[in-house]
Structure 1
Amino acid sequence: MQRFIIEREIPGAGDLDQQALAGIATASNAVVDSLGQPYTWVTSYVAGDKIYCVHEAESADAVLEHARRGGFPADKVTLVANEIGPHSADLAEVS
């Protein structure tokens, strides 16, 4: 599967309480279960008027179908080309 970052414009997202976020999560989980294909919602970050989600799917079309079925915006869907973190510096020492 490929990893995607989804940018969702949701005015007031940063002000949503835990109950509202739990409702969104419940809806998302139900859609994932209904897709009938490999699909994983990894995590999401709420910041300001946006929610940034990390999902794993076979294609961007699957991500868009998840958004359509759930009634979620998917303003930008970007394929992750690579991942780095603090541990990536250790790889430079191998060369």
Structure 2
Amino acid sequence: MPKYVIERDVENAGALSADDLRNISRKSCDVLEQLGPKIQWVESFVTPSKIYCVYIAPDEAMIRKHAEMGEFPITSISEVGCVIDPTTSEGP
């Protein structure tokens, strides 16, 4: 199943409290439960003004449906072509 990176512009995201982040996470999980097992939240990265989320989903439409239901902003959605890490440099 495809993996996506979602960029979300969230003013002062880096200043969100632990309670704020917990509430956002809870809301996302509630929506995911409603949408069923085909969409999965892998992880998110909070920066000073953005949140980058990694999801596995059958298509971009499912990502957009999650955002709509949870009232989460979407700045961009990019499908991941491949994943590399330091071990990639080691070759065969």
Q: Which structure 2 residue ranges, 5 or more long, are not aligned?
A: none
Q: Please, what is the CA RMSD of the aligned residues?
A: 0.8
Partner of 1:48: 48
Count the aligned residue pairs: 92
* Partner AA of 1:86 in structure 2: P
Taking the aligned partners of 1:87 and 1:4, their CA distance within structure 2 comes to: 22
Residue 37 of structure 1 deviates from its aligned partner by 4.6
Q: Residue 28 of structure 1 corresponds to which residue in structure 2?
A: 28
State how far apart, in whole Å, the 1-side matches of 2:69 and 2:29 are. 11
TM-score normalised over the length of structure 1? 0.93
CA distance in 2, matches of 1:77, 1:34: 21
Give the structure 2 partner of residue 68 of structure 1: 68
1:10 maps to what in 2?
10
Mapped to 2, the partners of 1:38 and 1:63 lie a distance apart of 11
Q: Distance in 2 between matches of 1:63 and 1:11?
A: 21
Residue 19 of structure 1 pairs with residue 27 of structure 2? no
- Of the two, which has the highest radius of gyration? 1
TM-score by length of 2: 0.96
User: Which aligned segments of 4 or more residues in structure 1 are displaced greater than 6 angstroms?
Assistant: none
Q: What runs of 5+ residues in structure 1 fail to find an aligned partner?
A: none
